Structure 1
């Protein structure tokens, strides 16, 4: 499951979407607040914030080409990869204007009611960018989304190959934490036959085990949820006993259509 996280309204009726999967059109249709109008080619989608350059998080940008312009907030390595690999600028240029804003570790205002900052995670490149660039941890980032007027903060990291100290500190200070729940345990990809690599070898720390993330989240004051579940993860079954294991630790699994108000 890929759960798109919507930020608080950057201004009246304007929203940022975190990552753009290929089915973003269907997701917009299922979310009344994101429906276009009232004017022609008018959309409440203010822009898209990207946590990485993987295709499953970026191909949906092309579905937004009918807007007058698309604001993309991304780190420098992600921007350069998308321009050089899928040639996003050249492909979409005849349809709409791509407005790039650089995402860094300093808070970036996305409007009067929202700011975003990156927590560098790993130098994991998408396959189409293999061999390019250096070992810059800004290839994959977690986000710290903050509402300045209230100080409420959400940490979002759908792809975590590592858990740096900066992420731990951000999670400890947050009101809500939503992170990578791709695999339940380290050997799941190999055991289920989908890969010869382990979970962490595929760029996703598992939930359970000594290398897992559950023990890092347990006891935090924030509401903590998992997202980005692979179809091999037993948590995709709402009746699986592992949901109770998480609940006993105060942890949850995010669901489609879930609305979280901080």
Structure 2
């Protein structure tokens, strides 16, 4: 199994178009600070990749990787999209994939219902492409891409609804999940969890069994959102466990047996968007790293 890091930023990317905070201003001045929306691509077979989450900059992410670019007209290596939630930052990119003859989407039933009832994406996209939905289950793995080489399953991490779905008549199922991917041949596995509101027993078990974990690093500490002035909520209240401080995830990550432990989904206010920030060295001493964009992980 090969995994390519396509993006590592939280909503809006770095820089965010309407923000001049230190992280955004520095990213405009220094291109190496720039980050695309958090996403990864997973190779399901030779020349067949599945992108996890369809971000608003998905076309740029595809173009940034030679392996994901089309070899001929209407023949793309991108075989489908796997959604971990129904947030706009992870789904608006579906509209940018409308040129596909068939668009394969794997998602939980709750996420699909939100997209169909709240955003009516199915009605819009069906006018351009044939939609093929695959259920992303919590109760056991299903084959990815039909080959059986890779299996995927969902691990519930949050019941937080997107704002547009707050009043929709949809049961409170798995609104946000971590993706657990297993290579049946080697037995190696990956857990990708870009948004974590609760370190649940199910998530802890999946992370403990994985060879590589890529986890929510939206905020450095719980007070960061308040301190930055864009909300009165803490990181935890916004649905993201912080990296440091009480309830922080860094010590939990450091204790995992995984060979690679990485953070993704950094907010533009997170000091880790600065490649030279001392937080990188502190995490490295714990065996934890911030995922660099373009990194390819072989499992």
So what's the TM-score if we normalise by structure 2?
Answer: 0.85
Alpha-carbon distance in 2 for matches of 1:164, 1:130: 23
Q: Which residue of 1 aligns with 2:197?
A: 161
Higher relative contact order (CA 8 A, sep 6+): 2
Q: Which residue of 2 aligns with 1:69?
A: 102
Q: Which residue of 1 aligns with 2:80?
A: 47
Alpha-carbon distance in 1 for matches of 2:171, 2:50: 29
Alpha-carbon distance in 2 for matches of 1:202, 1:49: 23
Instruction: Give 5+ residue unaligned stretches, structure 1.
Output: none
Instruction: Give 5+ residue unaligned stretches, structure 2.
Output: 1-8, 10-36
**Residue 131 of structure 1: how far off its partner (Å):** 2.4
**Residue 135 of structure 1: how far off its partner (Å):** 3.0
Q: Which residue of 2 aligns with 1:257?
A: 294
Matched, 1:248 2:285: yes
Alpha-carbon distance in 1 for matches of 2:224, 2:44: 39
Secondary structure, aligned partner of 1:73: strand
Pick one of 195, 209, 231 that aligns with 2:245: 209
Pick one of 214, 221, 226 that aligns with 1:190: 226
Q: Which residue of 2 aligns with 1:226?
A: 263
**Residue 220 of structure 1: how far off its partner (Å):** 1.4
Secondary structure, aligned partner of 2:59: helix
Alpha-carbon distance in 1 for matches of 2:158, 2:38: 21
So what's the TM-score if we normalise by structure 1?
Answer: 0.96
Alpha-carbon distance in 2 for matches of 1:65, 1:131: 28
**Residue 156 of structure 1: how far off its partner (Å):** 0.5
Aligned length: 259
Secondary structure, aligned partner of 2:294: coil
The 8 Å contact of residues 69 and 98 in structure 1, kept in 2 or not, is answered as: yes
The 8 Å contact of residues 114 and 145 in structure 1, kept in 2 or not, is answered as: yes
CA displacement, residues 63-114 of structure 1 (integer Å, 9 cap, x when unaligned): 1111111000000010000011111111111110111110012111013321
Q: CA RMSD in A?
A: 1.0
Q: Which residue of 1 aligns with 2:40?
A: 5
